[in-house]
């Protein structure tokens, strides 16, 4: 399903792709402090259910209005739901679980390693060899991630939360690539709508099974207008709209180049968190800079077929 190569579209303007990516990252970054607020009130799985419900409820009707019922009927739903079940379902659950055990800034810093994952996917699926710059970039990125933990926690704490976020990054990178290669001929809105629908089915199933395994039931009594409003921002903005813009650009420039823009997300999140009253740490800035330097060096190395 995912072995096809994404070839940048020569007829598209790079400016539009990069503008879409900047918009995607700005909207996506808003979701991290919003998720921190929701996680202080609701369990992680409940937050994810609300997020995908709002995302699907918004995007599916928009897709039908934009592309028409005929386009929706001929879409490869089975493949799209499968990609979404992993990427938007399992990936979203791992991301929110990881953030519940860390915080939004740390989660964004780990997510900034996605370009490295994109390069690795190109190595696996496209047979491209990696340069020494990539290995140097990986080393700097790992060192920066450890430094972020040191500056925020006072000690190195690379635990289950960080591992969950990293796993979600790998799944999301694969799903973003698969959304383009496995769903050809469909608009970015359609790709996002189908995969979000698949993710919604996954998180609903997990939430239904969770109480049977001793977990928390869906927190109906703890959801008010404030929680619904934050969930709408988290689902419609930081997932649906952000992902549409991201997949639009991936179809034009490929997953590795598109993922370059994620490097800036940690800085966006730190600025937003500071505006909401969080402490500003120059140690965090320096550590984030190290991650950004690592992924930039990795991407300047030529990938030779």
**Does 6 fall in a domain?**
no
Q: What is the mean pLDDT of residues 256-267?
A: 68
Specify if 26 maps to a domain: no
Confidence of residue 136 (pLDDT cuts 50, 70, 90): confident
Q: What angle do CA 235, 237, 239 make, to 5 degrees?
A: 55
Per-residue tokens: 164: 């969950």
CB 34 within 8 A of CB 272: no
- Lowest-confidence pick of 134-138, 280-284, 300-304: 300-304
Calculate mean pLDDT across residues 130-148: 66
For residues 260-280, average pLDDT: 69
Query: Does 226 map to a domain?
Result: yes
Within-domain flag for 29: no
Give the closest residue to 45 by CA, choosing from 193, 210, 162.
Answer: 210
Residue 79 falls in which region: left (phi positive, over 0), alpha (psi -120 to 50) or beta = alpha
Query: Domain for residue 114, yes or no?
Result: yes
User: Total domain count for the chain?
Assistant: 1
Residue 214 lies in a domain: yes
pTM of the model: 0.79
Average pLDDT of span 257-261: 69
Domain span at residue 90? Answer: 43-300
Alpha-carbon distance of 238 to 281, in angstroms, equals 25
In a domain, 10, yes or no: no
Report pLDDT for 202.
96
50-64, 139-153, 159-173: segment of lowest average pLDDT: 139-153
Whether 60 maps to a domain, the answer reads yes
Residues whose CB falls within 8 Å of the CB of residue 49, separated by 6 or more in sequence, listed in order: 203, 204, 207, 218
In this structure, are residues 232 and 53 in contact, taking their beta carbons and an 8 Å threshold? no
Is the pLDDT at 179 greater than 90? The verdict is no
């Amino acid at each position: 399903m995912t072995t096809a190569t994404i070839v940048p579209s020569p007829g598209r303007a790079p400016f539009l792709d990069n503008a879409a990516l900047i918009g995607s990252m700005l909207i996506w970054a808003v979701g991290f402090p919003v998720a921190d607020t929701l996680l202080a009130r609701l369990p992680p799985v409940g937050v994810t259910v609300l997020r995908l419900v709002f995302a699907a409820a918004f995007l599916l009707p928009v897709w039908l209005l934009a592309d028409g019922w005929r386009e929706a009927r001929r879409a490869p739903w089975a493949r799209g739901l499968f990609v979404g079940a992993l990427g938007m379902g399992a990936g979203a659950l791992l991301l929110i679980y990881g953030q519940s055990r860390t915080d939004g800034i740390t989660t964004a810093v780990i997510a900034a390693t996605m370009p490295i994952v994109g390069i690795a996917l190109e190595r696996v699926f496209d047979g491209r060899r990696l340069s020494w710059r990539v290995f140097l970039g990986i080393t700097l990125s790992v060192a920066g991630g450890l430094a972020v933990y040191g500056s925020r926690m006072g000690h190195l704490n690379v635990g289950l939360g960080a591992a969950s976020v990293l796993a979600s990054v790998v799944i999301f990178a694969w799903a973003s690539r698969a959304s383009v290669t496995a769903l050809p001929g469909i608009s970015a809105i359609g790709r996002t709508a189908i995969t979000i629908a698949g993710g919604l089915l996954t998180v609903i199933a997990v939430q239904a099974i969770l109480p049977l395994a001793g977990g928390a039931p869906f927190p109906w009594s703890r959801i008010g207008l404030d929680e619904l409003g934050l969930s709408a921002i988290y689902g419609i903005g930081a997932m649906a709209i952000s992902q549409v813009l991201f997949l639009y650009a991936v179809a034009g420039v490929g997953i590795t180049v598109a993922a370059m823009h994620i490097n800036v997300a940690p800085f966006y999140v730190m600025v937003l968190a500071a505006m909401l009253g969080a402490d500003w740490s120059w140690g965090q800035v320096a550590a984030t800079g190290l991650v950004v330097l690592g992924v930039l060096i990795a991407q300047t190395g030529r990938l030779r077929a």
